[in-house]
A and B are shown apart, each in its own frame.
Chain A
């Protein structure tokens, strides 16, 4: 697919570099506001609390935004998101299995770092298994991989339900708490670990920012232009998995109600809309910043200023869903 069909060119547009700089300024302002608006009483305590929350938001937003853009680049498609491959379901299954076999008390006493590593590692293992398995044959397609991922998600969910069904009701209550995404009270050590992982992946991606532009042309043209397509796509899929795994392990499934989150779709498409370019060196940082703005800015406006309780996630998901339907209607699904 030629890039212009993905990114409608606009005349009289600002240079993308300028837009990225402007975005950075807005994000900075929003972060300062997020840290300071409405603080009463003990500043040191509030700043520490909010700082941790902001750090978690930045990590999750960056990981989701970057992974969605990359995923859409390699699938040549604007509606898909890596969240469709049962990661969240696997997370829920892992938590359920742990509580079921070890008991809620013992799981709570676990070293959180160990748990984080275990969760991230098993999600990564699932991703690698899928990719290695489905990418071996020439004719295997990415759509097939996604659908298999969805089916895995379904199987995981069914096993989870099965275990929850025969679980001690008291333990079930404890488990439910663990299964909802929360940016509050994230362990600082985990933030450090997840930041390291996401940072390393970010570096690896940044190194390849130009060759990723070529992938927008599709498989055959990219091969024709000398790109080692299979190796590159496999690598990107692995990097995407690391991103998704470390952010999910940090705060839990981002959309508590549903198996699929549309947050990434929303962020990616807002980015395409704002930046009239196909160039990943602009798209990727811009997407990360838009992602941060959506959650942090949304929380600031809706929750801190307007006092709507925990509405941000729902508003974002709904907007993302609308974008998805709109894209389908415009025939942009390919």
Chain B
């Protein structure tokens, strides 16, 4: 907060540099894929129309969806880590993703004709209940067992997940469930992803609350001492997390451990003062997801590997590194 003007300028400069990098990558993403979209095809009058069509109907939406998903999921993970005061919490280690899937399944079964936004609201409500329950549960886990928190969350998620899977199996909706669990952007076309823009609003809201989340991370006592309405900060944070998870899960599918890996990397580099860290979290999340998706488009070309799968391997390895790089200090 109180850096000298010079260091602030340097830090700001780096952020702009990273944003520029993201922009370049996004541009490249527009021209990677099966359909032949190249700058020259765009210039050639004969192929221009078809190319433009592919660009606006598929490539642009896909790229936007990737950026929105990456940044919002990473920010959601960071908020959860601040509020739970635990470095290993994120939507997929707290039952949030599974609860969101459960909610969507219920909406599909009981209100199949409801508009998408209503179904998402149902899913978000379920995610909120599930996450709030998790936060309630982990208050009973002693502070000296930080790693028990994600373990309990993963197991809680597994319970919700198996109930959901059982119901989905009976209702013949197992396929939708599979899609929610594993992020895949190959089906993103214009008209089918626009809900993702809502996550942008939630990400911006998170930035407005950045200071409050940092203070909440100092604990309930210090928050109250500083006059922060701790319960309100918690409620706002959980609402953002639940909404983002529900939107992402039901539109493109979840990307496990993204919300865990990105905030930890950013925390190592710039710390946890959210005013400073959140823009980095959003940018890094977008960069990672975008590059993993592009890798997925290229590895088995002309086939595609879903980004959830690619990130499962990449993110898993980074997570391992994060777990093992420091001695198991109570942190």
Do A and B bind?
yes
Q: Which residues of A approach B to under 8 Å, CB–CB? A: 77, 79-80, 84, 137, 139-141, 143-144, 146-148, 150-152, 154-155, 157-159, 161-162, 165-166, 255, 257-260, 262, 314, 317-318, 321, 324-325, 328-329, 331, 333-334
Of the candidates A144, A151, A318, A331, the one having the most CB atoms from chain B within 10 angstroms of its own CB is A151
CA distance A331 to B71 in the complex (A): 35
Chain B interface, DSSP helix/strand/loop, else mixed: helix
Task: Say yes or no for B198: interface residue by CB 8 A criterion.
Answer: no
Of the candidates A137, A143, A334, the one having the most CB atoms from chain B within 10 angstroms of its own CB is A143
Q: Which of A152, A158, A260 contacts B154 (CB 8 A)?
A: A260
Task: Say yes or no for B306: interface residue by CB 8 A criterion.
Answer: yes
A146 & B147 in contact (Cβ 8 Å cutoff): yes
Q: Which of B316, B323, B324, B329 contacts A154 (CB 8 A)?
A: B316
A257-B166 CB under 8 A given contacts A165-B305, A325-B156: yes
A255 neighbours in B (Cβ, 8 Å)? 162
Q: Which residues of B approach A to under 8 Å, CB–CB? A: 88, 137, 140-142, 145-148, 150-152, 154-156, 158-159, 161-163, 165-166, 169, 182, 256-257, 300, 303, 305-306, 308-313, 316-317, 319-320, 323-324, 327-329
B151 & A331 in contact (Cβ 8 Å cutoff): no
Q: Which of A144, A152, A157, A158 contacts B147 (CB 8 A)?
A: A144
**Count of chain A to chain B residue pairs whose CB atoms are closer than 8 Å in the complex:** 126
CB distance from A171 to the nearest CB of B (A): 16
B155 neighbours in A (Cβ, 8 Å)? 79, 84, 260, 262, 324
A162 & B328 in contact (Cβ 8 Å cutoff): no
CB distance from B329 to the nearest CB of A (A): 7
CB distance from A68 to the nearest CB of B (A): 13
A143-B148 CB under 8 A given contacts A137-B327, A158-B316: yes
CB distance from A26 to the nearest CB of B (A): 28
List 9 A-B residue pairs with CB atoms under 8 Å apart, sorted by A's residue number.
A139-B328, A148-B323, A155-B317, A159-B313, A161-B312, A165-B306, A262-B158, A324-B156, A325-B137
A84-B323 CB under 8 A given contacts A146-B147, A158-B313, A328-B140: no
A262 & B151 in contact (Cβ 8 Å cutoff): no
CB distance from A222 to the nearest CB of B (A): 18
CA distance A162 to B295 in the complex (A): 13
CB distance from B271 to the nearest CB of A (A): 24
Q: Which of A137, A140, A157, A328 contacts B137 (CB 8 A)?
A: A328
Q: Which of B305, B310, B324 contacts A148 (CB 8 A)?
A: B324
Closest A residue, CB atoms, query B163: A318
A324 neighbours in B (Cβ, 8 Å)? 155-156, 159
Of the candidates B140, B150, B151, the one having the most CB atoms from chain A within 10 angstroms of its own CB is B151
A333 neighbours in B (Cβ, 8 Å)? 140-141, 145, 148, 152
A143 & B145 in contact (Cβ 8 Å cutoff): yes
Closest B residue, CB atoms, query A142: B147
Closest B residue, CB atoms, query A257: B165
CB distance from B310 to the nearest CB of A (A): 8
A329-B140 CB under 8 A given contacts A84-B151, A143-B147, A259-B158: yes
B323 & A144 in contact (Cβ 8 Å cutoff): yes
B159 & A154 in contact (Cβ 8 Å cutoff): no
B151 neighbours in A (Cβ, 8 Å)? 80, 84, 143, 146-147, 150
CA distance A84 to B159 in the complex (A): 13
CB distance from B98 to the nearest CB of A (A): 10
B147 & A147 in contact (Cβ 8 Å cutoff): yes
CA distance A328 to B134 in the complex (A): 10
Q: Which of B141, B142, B166, B327 contacts A314 (CB 8 A)?
A: B166
Shortest beta-carbon contacts, A-B, top 6: A158-B312, A143-B147, A321-B159, A155-B316, A331-B140, A260-B158
CA distance A328 to B312 in the complex (A): 28
B162 & A144 in contact (Cβ 8 Å cutoff): no
CA distance A165 to B309 in the complex (A): 10
Q: Which of A80, A158, A262, A334 contacts B142 (CB 8 A)?
A: A334
Closest B residue, CB atoms, query A262: B159
CB distance from A63 to the nearest CB of B (A): 20
CA distance A190 to B156 in the complex (A): 34
B158 & A258 in contact (Cβ 8 Å cutoff): yes
